[in-house]
Every structure is written in C-alpha cells, then in structure tokens.
Amino acid sequence: MFGVQGKRDLTTELQSQIPILRPSIHARRANIVVKFQDLYGFTVEGNVDDVNVLNEVREKVRNQGRVWWALEASKGANWYLQPDVLVGDGLALKTSLKISALTNAITLKRLVRKGIPPVLRPKVWFSLSGAAKKKSTVPESYYSDLTKAVEGMVTPATRQIDHDLPRTFPGHPWLDTPEGHAALRRVLVGYSFRDSDVGYCQGLNYVAALLLLVMKTEEDAFWMLAVLLENVLVRDCYTTNLSGCHVEQRVFKDLLAQKCPRIATHLDDMGFDVSLVATEWFLCLFSKSLPSETTLRVWDVLFYEGAKVLFHAALAIFKVLTSLPQVFFSSSRLSLMVMDVVCLQMKENELLMTHQVGDVINIIQTTSHQLFDPDELLTVAFEKIGSMTTNAISKHRKKQEPAVMAELDQRLRRLNSLKESGKST
C-alpha cells in the first residue's frame, strides 16, 4: 500500500484513498474514544466529533481535487510550471506572458494554501520544491550508485539511524516493518554520506518517513529530503551544533511576543522556554505534533513558499489558544463550532492560569494533536497572524545569529574545560 506504486487512474485513486468514516450507532450516542486509520495509515484516536471533522476534511479534499483536475484539463498537466502559450509578438507578447505568469502564480498560491490533493502531491511537490531540477543535475543512477557504495559502511550516523528506525512511527502498518525500515534506512544513510556536515540528526527520521509515504518511491523521497535541507530550510538547522535551529527558536520567541503577547508574557513570567515545544516542531516539521493531513497541508505551502511557513504554523498553534470566536464562523458544522470556540477559550484560560511547565506542555500538545481540520490552523496561520515576509524573517535571523554563536562558543569552551579537568584528575 505504501511502497512503490505504478501509474493509476488519478481520479479512481483519489476516491479510493479517501474513505468516509462511519462510526457505529453506539459510538454516535456516546462520547467514547474511537481509533481508526487515517489516509496515510496512522492510527488516530479521538471521539465521534473528531470522526465527523475528519469526514468533512475528506469531503474538502475531494472538492479541492476537482478544482485541480479541472485546471489540468483546461491548462495542461504542468500548468503550474509553464505560463500559457499565447499567440503574438513584441511588447504585446511579453506583457501577455507576464500577466499570464502572474495569474498562474496567484492561482497556484491560493490553491496550494487550500491543499494539494494527495494523489497529486508527489508530482507537485517534486516540481515546485526544486527537487526535480536538483535531480536533473546528476547522473540518472546517482541514488542507486550512492546506496550501493555506502552499503555495509558503519559510521556514528548509521549507528544512530539504526537506533532510531524502530522508534520512528511505531505501529505504522508499513513504516514499522522490515521493508519500511530498510527503505527509510537507505534514504537516511544515503543522505548522511551525501552531506557530511549534516550527516544524520534525530528528527530527520520522522521527516524522511513521511516523505516516503507521500512520494511512494525511495529515490523521490531522497531528493525531496535533499532539496528540503539544502534549499528550503535554513542551513545549519541539522548540523552537529544545531546552530540554525537555535537561531530559529530565538526568532520564534521574538515573533511570539509580537503576535501573541498575552501568552508570551505569561510564559515568560513563569520562566517557560517555548523551545521546549517548538524545537520538535522545527526539527520534525510538525510530523510528530499535528495530525498527518494537517502536517502535509503545512508542507504543501512549505515546499512552495519556503521556511517562513514554519513560523506561520507555529504561531498559529499558539494563536488558536487566543482566537476570537469569529475565526471559526466559516465552518459548516454549526453545532460543533460553538463547542470548538468554548473549548479553545477554556484552553486559553487554562493555559494562562497554569504555572507548571509540565501542564503548559500538555495543553499545547493536546491542542496541536487535535487540529484535525487543516483549514482551522491554516486560516489562522495566513489570515490572522499577519504578514511575515522572508526578508523580515531574515533580518530577525541576522539579529539573533551573533548571540547564538557566542552562546554555542561559550558552551564548547565549558565542555573543553571540563574535559581538560577530567584528564588532569
């Protein structure tokens, strides 16, 4: 199911992969916990209301799929890569091409934020992220040659990878099998030799595993991982000292104070460091924190708009705790909408009244794990957070980099001093 797949009729596959979940009459009458598998094989635990939300999400995915099929029928299969071919010459042609390209870009941005249909994700991600271009710069047998060349080699990275394989989404029907472990290992080990500066960092196992489920083939998952680490994300996020990740955490803390001042002040007053929850978000790209379809909706935008999307999503999780009721008035499930608002207001009050670090972590994790409807998170992320340009975030990073490097340097000196002290005794 989750291994290499041949070409199929896209419409048939889309429909077959999005079943309607129908809870029993007993489950509908009682507020009990139910377990079921989502589109990507993960076991989801929730109540019947959560099942209803997921059914609505599946219907949204179907509707969004129809929009993409219609555009492919009218504009061509790769319309998002090429502007329309127009007849004309001279200035008129150039102007028309610019307008056409701009129209396509606006249409694409809007569509990507609304979600890429699961069946189209492999193709669209591979093209929009730059993975296809990156792959085209090397011989066709690059991945095969790489995996064969490093087979059997043992390094600190391969030992850590072997340690992490059984801990990567345990219980998943494909990933947690010998076949799944072998595929994930080849992707991670291969990349550890491609980029010795990164090697392997814990967190990449979850990212690569989810890429395997979406991309279907090891090679495509490998190139998506490569473009993610080399082009999409900030450099040094996964290097030995995690300097890039430390910078991102400081930037996020600044942005949280701007966008969610009430919560930021409370957390700061109690000495709570947001990196306790946000580090995992940024290293695992939300793959361990959000439901799978919500995570992949964030990735849809990440691969098109870049790393700033991670800040939008992270801030949105906190913003959800202070959202006004009208944020959810667009929802069609009116009876559940009021419950959503009440629960979120209760969570906000609970968070602001909490003074224990463990309780804060629990509230934040519970909120993120229950964001089954991607639109609720992404509506807040892109409509309620406010504009955050790549240039503005880059300025935040440059501001924080000296302090991070100084802190890491001081930490290294202390470590070396302890080692020297140990040798002398």
Rounded to two decimals, the pTM is 0.84
Do 216 and 5 touch, CB atoms closer than 8 A?
yes
- Residue 214 is encoded by which pair of tokens? 């979406």
Q: Where are the domains of the chain?
A: 10-118, 131-232, 243-400
What span, in angstroms and rounded, lies between the C-alpha atoms of 240 and 200? Answer: 9
In the chain, % helix, strand, coil (3-state, to 5) comes to 70, 0, 30
pLDDT per residue, tens digit, the chain (425 aa), is 444 444 344 444 444 444 444 444 334 434 678 888 888 999 888 888 888 888 899 899 999 999 999 988 988 888 887 644 333 333 333 444 455 666 677 889 999 999 999 999 999 999 999 999 999 999 999 999 999 999 999 999 999 999 999 999 999 999 999 999 999 999 999 999 999 989 999 999 999 999 999 998 999 999 999 999 999 998 889 988 899 999 999 999 999 999 999 899 999 999 999 999 999 999 999 999 999 999 999 999 999 999 999 999 999 999 887 654 433 333 444 444 444 444 444 455 667 888 889 999 998 998 899 899 999 999 999 999 988 888 999 999 999 999 999 988 888 788 777 766 666 65
Task: Name the residue among 300, 294, 302, 357 with its Cα closest to residue 320.
Answer: 294
pLDDT of residue 322: 64
Residue type at 213 in one-letter notation? L
pLDDT of residue 365: 92
Task: Name the residue among 60, 43, 41, 48 with its Cα closest to residue 21.
Answer: 48
Strand pairing of 34-37 and 43-46? antiparallel
- Residue 273 is encoded by which pair of tokens? 């460091």
Do 281 and 203 touch, CB atoms closer than 8 A?
no
Do 175 and 184 touch, CB atoms closer than 8 A?
yes
CATH number of 243-400: 1.10.472.80
As assigned by CATH, the class of the 131-232 domain is mainly alpha
- 118-156: burial string, b at 16+ Cβ within 10 Å, e else: bbbbbbbbbebbbbbebbeeeeeebbeebbeebeeeeee
What span, in angstroms and rounded, lies between the C-alpha atoms of 264 and 258? Answer: 9
Residue type at 303 in one-letter notation? F
pLDDT of residue 119: 93
pLDDT tens for 105-154 read 788 999 999 999 999 999 999 999 999 999 999 999 999 999 999 999 99
pLDDT of residue 12: 47
- Residue 111 is encoded by which pair of tokens? 């569509």
Task: Indicate the burial class of 251 (C-beta count within 10 angstroms; 0-12, 13-18, 19 or more).
Answer: buried
pLDDT of residue 99: 54
pLDDT of residue 386: 87
pLDDT of residue 346: 45
What span, in angstroms and rounded, lies between the C-alpha atoms of 18 and 120? Answer: 14
What span, in angstroms and rounded, lies between the C-alpha atoms of 32 and 70? Answer: 40
pLDDT of residue 77: 84
